[in-house]
């Protein structure tokens, strides 16, 4: 193991050599069912041939020119995302944090344009928005803040899924926007009550605030719709994407509509790599594959079925406090810390995640077949029941 890497991750003692679909293989030839997808990135599985081909072909044609010039792939990908989301404009970048930085810059300038000297964004407790200074400041997790003060100013925090708490801020004239995840991912797969986003939309409209949705984890089909806001009849002003947009090729995007679309002008924001021909070729291939194979409706129906199976399996298990999910995003909350389950599952050839200490999080690939799905259920139920014994 290299000692020259910065000490930012406590890595598991496994090295993957290759992957295909829902399966990864380590350097000893042992195979693993991947129920985490590189943290909601490889939704279409590993080494998807259509995506690999698109990357390969584009890399042999043209990889990068900079945003000083026209980039047809970027325009094409923007058009696709606009058609799917009903947004109006796109800024491409390389990661989720950068997409949220873009959103936060839009919010600040939107406020400054109206003469608001302390533009403030409402953010949620238990949220996650990234690791750059502004996005970690927006994040609702004291552990992420620890050691990095002074934080970026201009955030006010309320509990997630609490409309009344947002309403009480209506007379605060510094507020310019709400930044929220439609489902909290890192925070433990918390799904708000139906109508939450609609209520936030109404409050934003009434107060002239921007509704900014962080769909970095929930976007691109993960919850059974292209974007999680499409479960409700609303459209946000700002939408951020990354993770699954490139199926492993780093790419992020910040989408805007209406007044949020006219805030940034040349000189306000930029990126060297963002939206280069290679990354956008991957993004286009991802959308093509998702559309051609009708994966998203199947994520909705298979996700429902899988959730029912997990609920049934743990119905009598008192150590399991809650089983929740939407599409292919699942959280199984236990009555005790369960971080060690990651290593237990790894030993048994299954890749899972534990978030917030006590919640098993699953973000399986959309390409998992029936046998693999059965294997996931059998192994996971067994691992959790053994652990709780
Ligand atoms: C992963 C994630 C981010 C950060 O994305 P990076 O690409 O790691 O910067 C931001 N918001 C949410 C909801 C995420 O899941």
> How does the average pLDDT of the chain come out, rounded?
98
Beta strands in the chain (DSSP E): 16-20, 23-26, 31-34, 89-93, 120-124, 155-158, 175-180, 210-214, 238-241, 252-256, 320-326, 329-334, 350-351, 353-355, 359-362
Q: Do the strands 175-180 and 210-214 form a parallel or antiparallel pair, or are they unpaired?
A: parallel
The answer, yes or no, to whether any atom of ligand 1 lies below 6 A from the CB of 95, is: yes
In short, whether 80's Cβ falls inside 6 Å of ligand 1 is no
What per-residue confidence (pLDDT) applies to 123? 98
d(CA 227, CA 230) in angstroms, rounded, equals 6
In angstroms, what is the span from residue 378 Cα to ligand 1's centroid? 30
Rounded CA Rg of the chain: 21
Model confidence pLDDT, tens digit, residues 281-317: 999 999 999 999 999 999 999 999 999 999 999 999 9
Ligand 1 touching residue 221 (CB < 6 A): no
CATH T-level topology, domain 16-35+295-388: 3.90.1150
Cβ-proximal residues to 58 (8 Å cutoff; 6+ apart), any chain: 73, 277, 278, 281, 282
Expressed in angstroms and rounded, the spacing between residue 210 Cα and the centre of ligand 1 is 20
pTM of the prediction? 0.98
Q: Which residues of the chain have pLDDT under 70?
A: 1-2
CATH 3.40.50.300 fits 50-292, yes or no: no
pLDDT value at position 2? 64
Give CA angle at 84 (63, 232), nearest 5°: 140
Q: Which of 197, 199, 206 is nearest to 170 (CA)?
A: 206
pLDDT score of 67: 98
Domain map of the chain by residue range? 16-35+295-388, 50-292
Mutate to test the pocket of ligand 1, among 186, 189, 213 (most ligand atoms within 8 A of CB): 186
Q: What's the confidence (pLDDT) of residue 3?
A: 83
- The string of pLDDT tens digits covering residues 256-279 is 999 999 999 999 999 999 999 999
């Amino acid at each position: 193991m290299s000692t020259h890497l910065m000490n930012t991750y406590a890595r598991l003692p496994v090295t993957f050599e290759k992957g295909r679909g829902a399966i990864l293989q380590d350097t000893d030839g042992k195979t693993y069912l991947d129920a985490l997808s590189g943290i909601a990135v490889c939704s279409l599985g590993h080494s998807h041939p259509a995506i690999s081909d698109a990357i390969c072909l584009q890399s042999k044609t043209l990889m990068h020119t900079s945003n000083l010039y026209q980039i047809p792939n970027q325009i094409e990908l923007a058009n696709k995302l606009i058609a799917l989301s009903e947004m109006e404009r796109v800024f491409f970048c390389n990661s989720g944090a950068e997409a949220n930085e873009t959103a936060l810059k839009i919010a600040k300038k939107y406020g400054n344009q109206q003469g608001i000297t302390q533009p403030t964004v409402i953010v949620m407790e238990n949220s996650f928005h990234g690791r750059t200074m502004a996005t970690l400041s927006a994040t609702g997790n004291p552990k992420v803040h620890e050691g990095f003060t002074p934080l970026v100013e201009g955030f006010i925090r309320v509990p997630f899924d609490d409309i009344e708490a947002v309403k009480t801020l209506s007379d605060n004239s510094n507020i310019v926007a709400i930044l929220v995840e439609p489902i909290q991912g890192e925070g433990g797969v918390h799904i708000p009550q139906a109508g939450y986003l609609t209520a936030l939309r109404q409050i934003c409209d009434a107060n002239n605030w921007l509704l900014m949705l962080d769909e970095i984890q929930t976007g691109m089909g993960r919850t059974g719709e292209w974007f999680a806001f499409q479960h409700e009849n609303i459209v946000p002003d700002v939408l951020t994407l990354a993770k699954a947009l490139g199926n492993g090729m780093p790419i992020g995007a910040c989408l805007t509509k209406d007044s949020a679309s006219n805030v940034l002008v040349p000189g306000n924001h930029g990126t060297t790599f963002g939206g280069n021909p290679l990354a956008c070729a991957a993004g286009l291939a991802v959308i093509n594959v998702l559309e051609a194979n009708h994966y998203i409706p199947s994520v909705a129906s298979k996700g429902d079925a899988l959730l029912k199976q997990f609920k049934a399996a743990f119905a009598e298990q008192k150590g399991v406090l809650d089983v929740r999910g939407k599409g292919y995003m699942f959280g199984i909350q236990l009555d005790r810390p369960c971080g060690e389950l990651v290593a237990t599952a790894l030993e048994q050839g299954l890749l899972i995640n534990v978030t917030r200490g006590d919640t098993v999080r699953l973000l399986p690939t959309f390409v998992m077949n029936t046998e693999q799905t059965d294997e996931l259920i059998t192994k996971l139920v067994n691992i959790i029941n053994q652990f709780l014994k």
